[in-house]
Amino acid sequence: QVQLVESGGGLVQAGGSLRLSCAASGRTFSNYAMGWFRQAPGKEREFVAAIGRSGIINYYAYSVKGRFTISRDNAKNTVYLQMNSLKPEDTAVYYCAASSVVGTSRYESDYGNWGQGTQVTVSS
């Protein structure tokens, strides 16, 4: 198992930027593919971005592609989500998660470890 803690959420104006971090405990962080999901009030949780174990392969939801960048630093046991050109519809609680899949996955069922979430609010 790996324990995940998100940070970096907050308030930002539309068009602004924010960087989320997800710190992982344990000594086997590089064995996990990582993903970011989000959930807005009254909506189901949705996939945002994923990154493979080595950080070479990444995958994005169409709604954020070109604006968000996922990256990881295995030496620091941390995965990041750089969010640029933020829109009000990006407002949600953002969760990071760890998966044992070989590549990347957009399916919640493939992720066995989840952080507690961090709130991102984008004002218009």
Is residue 22 within 8 A of residue 96, CB to CB? The reply is yes
Residue 6 has pLDDT above 90, yes or no: yes
Q: Which amino acid is at 14?
A: A
What are the pLDDT digits (tens) for 50-109? 999 999 999 999 999 999 999 999 999 999 999 999 999 999 999 999 999 999 999 999
Q: Strand pairing of 118-123 and 10-13?
A: parallel
13-43 pLDDT per residue, tens: 999 999 999 999 977 899 999 999 999 999 9
| Cβ-contact 86, 94 below 8 angstroms | no
- Report DSSP state, residue 43: S
Give the pLDDT of residue 27.
Answer: 77
Question: Strands 33-39 and 78-83: what pairing?
Answer: unpaired
Of 29, 37, 36, whose CA–CA distance to 54 is shortest?
Answer: 29
